[in-house]
Amino acid sequence: MNKRLPARNPFQVLGVNAYASEQEIKQAFRKLAKKYHPDLNMAAYGFEEKFTELTCAYKTIRDSKENSAGGQAPGFASHPPGGGGFFKKGIGSLFGPKAFGGLNFTPLPGENIEKLISISFKEVIRGVKKRLKFDAYVACADCSGNGSKGGASFVVCPLCQGAGRALAGAGGYAGHQLCPQCLGGGDVIRVRCRRCKARGRIKGVREVNISIPPGVADGARFLVRDKGDAGTLLWPSGDLIITVSTVEHPFFRRRGNDIFCHAPVPFTTAALGGSVTVPTISNDVKMTVPPGAGSKTVFRLKGRGISAKGDQYVRLIVNVPSRLTAKQKRLLEAFANLRGDPAGTDEKTDVY
What is the arithmetic mean of pLDDT over 137-164? 87
Q: Model confidence over 3-31: pLDDT tens digits?
A: 443 346 788 888 887 777 888 888 888 88
Give the angle 150-155-158 at the CA atoms, nearest 5°. 140
> Does residue 170 surpass a pLDDT of 60?
no
Q: State the pTM of this model.
A: 0.64
Q: Are 265 and 285 in contact (CB under 8 A)?
A: no
DSSP 8-state assignment for residue 100: -
Query: What's the CA gap between 44 and 40, in Å, rounded?
Result: 9
Q: Which of 45, 34, 217 is nearest to 124 (CA)?
A: 217
Q: Model confidence over 235-261: pLDDT tens digits?
A: 888 999 999 999 999 999 999 999 999
Confidence at residue 24, expressed as pLDDT on a 0 to 100 scale:
85
Q: Which residue has the higher pLDDT, 157 or 284?
A: 284
What is the arithmetic mean of pLDDT over 61-67? 70
CATH 3.40.50.300 given to domain 253-339: no
Give the angle 247-251-255 at the CA atoms, nearest 5°. 65
What is the arithmetic mean of pLDDT over 201-215? 95
What is the arithmetic mean of pLDDT over 252-279? 93
What is the arithmetic mean of pLDDT over 199-214? 95
Confidence at residue 327, expressed as pLDDT on a 0 to 100 scale:
92
Helix (H, G, I), strand (E, B) or coil at 7: coil
Strands 221-224 and 240-246, sheet pairing: antiparallel
For the domain bounded by 1-75, which CATH number is listed? 1.10.287.110
Q: Which of 92, 74, 72, 81 is nearest to 162 (CA)?
A: 92
Query: What's the CA gap between 142 and 136, in Å, rounded?
Result: 17
Confidence at residue 157, expressed as pLDDT on a 0 to 100 scale:
85
Query: What's the CA gap between 26 and 152, in Å, rounded?
Result: 37
Confidence at residue 123, expressed as pLDDT on a 0 to 100 scale:
95
Phi first, then psi, for residue 331 (nearest 5°) are -65, -40
Domain locations in the chain? 1-75, 253-339
